[in-house]
Amino acid sequence: MDKIKMALIGAGTWGSAHAEIYSQHHLSEFVAVCDSSEEKAKKIAQKYGVAYFTDYEEMFEKVACDAVGIVTPDFAHAKPIIAAANRNKHILCEKPLATTQEDLDLILNALKGKDIKVMVDFHNRWNPPVCKIKSDVDEGKIGKIVSAYIRLNDIIYVPMEMLSWAEKSSILWFLGSHSVDVLNWIIGALPEKVYSVCHKGILESKGINVPDLYQTILEYSNGAVATMENSWILPNTNPYVNDYKLNITGEKGMFNMDFSHNTLLERFLEDEASHPDVIVKPRIHGKPTGLAYESIRDFIERVYNNDELIISIEESVSVTRIILAIMESVKKKQPVKIEY
Ligand SMILES: NC(=O)c1ccc[n+]([C@@H]2O[C@H](COP(=O)([O-])OP(=O)(O)OC[C@H]3O[C@@H](n4cnc5c(N)ncnc54)[C@H](O)[C@@H]3O)[C@@H](O)[C@H]2O)c1
């Protein structure tokens, strides 16, 4: 079978990671890139010797591709998904699937009846400790899950400097979507009710009109209760860009994951103390490795082999519905029941 011809929409920070895997994987061929910024599209196109465009409809017209990676900002996934679905392309979309009910409805309408594979890149499904917890839970090692605590925060550099569009998203969409997916996957159920409180002021005082953090409680249909913390204002001196912890407590046991404040590797330089990344996207012998790349590779392999994808579209739709309910709860200052 021919290699999977991959196109890319969104040639920013994370689009560059996608481009590298599309071009390196032995089962894919990177064929074209599109970015509304010609400069960004051209940069990646020149690096990999592919065609570039500033309009994805034109890209689909002119270049034959089998699948497309959508790596536009959080709030700008719907239109490219719909365009790709209309042309029957398989889709790997960055998280979250959508950030509004309107976008979600448009996406679901466009995907209706299409024989294409669609996956949202919740790459924690390839995170080694998360996967170990999941398999042990499924084997019944800790019995029925009673409670969960997940904390997935960013240093303030992310909304202040890394993302030009932070105030059109939030820590809930940017990292909370991962948190919700991890909780749903491990708990093996969906929350029926959420209650959330946010804190505002620190980012606003710096000119970014978005909440600083959300503290959320999720009540699951199987009786588990989860607490989820997502903050975008950790000091830049935190030893790693993320602060990521997870506790899963069951009737017969418990897991504690300390993903970023671990002592796996501590680095002390004259002017810096840090925990360098060795799991998410390290380079080993020059090759991009780690969980963030594994999800992209897995998509290519499963599309090539016509296998079922690891994350279903329904699961990703649920994540968006849950976050919309969390935002409603913040607004109403009361618990919100979730409609699926
Ligand atoms: N930065 C990260 O570490 C990271 C990690 C994992 C996932 N993600 C996800 O990847 C997505 C992109 O994030 P990023 O950090 O790369 O953002 P970015 O701003 O660096 O890149 C987004 C790119 O999309 C382009 N774009 C916007 N609208 C477009 C359109 N209609 N057509 C074509 N191009 C368009 C922009 O010009 C920009 O180059 C987000 O959903 C984010 O949550 C980011």
- Residue 113: both structure tokens together: 């009846």
Is a pLDDT exceeding 90 seen at residue 103? yes
Domain presence at residue 298: no
Domain presence at residue 324: yes
35 lines ligand 1 (CB under 6 A): yes
20 lines ligand 1 (CB under 6 A): no
Last residue of a domain, one of 82, 116, 150: 116
Residue 68 and residue 9: Cα distance in Å, rounded? 7
Identify whether residues 81 and 217 lie together within a single domain: no
Using CA atoms, how far residue 331 sits from 51, 204, 251, 308, 309, in Å, is 45, 17, 35, 38, 35
Is a pLDDT exceeding 90 seen at residue 1? no
Identify whether residues 167 and 73 lie together within a single domain: no
Q: How far is CA 107 from the centre of its chain?
A: 17
Identify whether residues 142 and 273 lie together within a single domain: yes
Q: Where residue 101 sits, what CATH number does that domain have?
A: 3.40.50.720
Domain presence at residue 310: no
Domain presence at residue 296: no
Spatial CA neighbour of 56 closest among 28, 36, 27, 78: 36
Confidence of residue 143 (pLDDT cuts 50, 70, 90): very high
Percent of the chain whose predicted confidence (pLDDT) is above 90: 97
pLDDT of the residue at 317: 98
pLDDT averaged over the chain?
Answer: 97
Task: Count each helix (H run) and each strand (E run) in the chain, helices first.
Answer: 12, 17
pLDDT in tens, 180-193: 999 999 999 999 99
Confidence of residue 302 (pLDDT cuts 50, 70, 90): very high
Identify whether residues 276 and 163 lie together within a single domain: yes
Q: Exposed e or buried b for every residue in 178-207, given b needs 16+ CB within 10 A?
A: bbbbbbbbbbeebbeebbbebeeeebeeee
Atom of ligand 1 nearest to the CA of 74: 41
Residue 260 and residue 244: Cα distance in Å, rounded? 6
Provide mean pLDDT across the span 241-259: 97
Task: Give the structural domain span for 16.
Answer: 4-116
Spatial CA neighbour of 120 closest among 300, 290, 317: 317
Q: Residue 218 pairs with which residues in a beta bridge?
A: 194, 226
Domain presence at residue 44: yes
Confidence of residue 262 (pLDDT cuts 50, 70, 90): confident
- Residue 306: both structure tokens together: 């016509």
Q: Structurally, how many domains does the chain consist of? A: 2
Domain presence at residue 264: yes
Angle (CA) 239-240-241 rounded to 5° is 135
Pocket test for ligand 1, best of 34, 70, 72 (most atoms within 8 A of CB): 72
Identify whether residues 129 and 107 lie together within a single domain: no
Residue type, 300: I
94 lines ligand 1 (CB under 6 A): yes
Is a pLDDT exceeding 80 seen at residue 305? yes
Domain presence at residue 202: yes
pLDDT of the residue at 44: 98
pLDDT in tens, 61-71: 999 999 999 99
pLDDT in tens, 9-22: 999 999 999 999 99
Is a pLDDT exceeding 90 seen at residue 261? no
Confidence of residue 77 (pLDDT cuts 50, 70, 90): very high
Confidence of residue 155 (pLDDT cuts 50, 70, 90): very high
Residue 259 and residue 131: Cα distance in Å, rounded? 13
Provide mean pLDDT across the span 278-306: 96
Q: Where residue 146 sits, what CATH number does that domain have?
A: 3.30.360.10
Atom of ligand 1 nearest to the CA of 174: 43
pLDDT of the residue at 92: 98
Domain presence at residue 239: yes
Environment class of 221 (CB within 10 Å of its CB; exposed 0-12, middle 13-18, buried 19+): middle
Atom of ligand 1 nearest to the CA of 79: 31
Identify whether residues 250 and 151 lie together within a single domain: yes
Identify whether residues 236 and 170 lie together within a single domain: yes
Identify whether residues 107 and 143 lie together within a single domain: no
Angle (CA) 156-278-300 rounded to 5° is 95
Spatial CA neighbour of 60 closest among 101, 28, 91: 91
Identify whether residues 76 and 170 lie together within a single domain: no
Identify whether residues 22 and 141 lie together within a single domain: no
Identify whether residues 20 and 103 lie together within a single domain: yes
Is a pLDDT exceeding 90 seen at residue 263? no
Look at strands 28-34 and 4-9 and give their pairing. parallel
Is a pLDDT exceeding 90 seen at residue 82? yes
Provide mean pLDDT across the span 31-45: 98
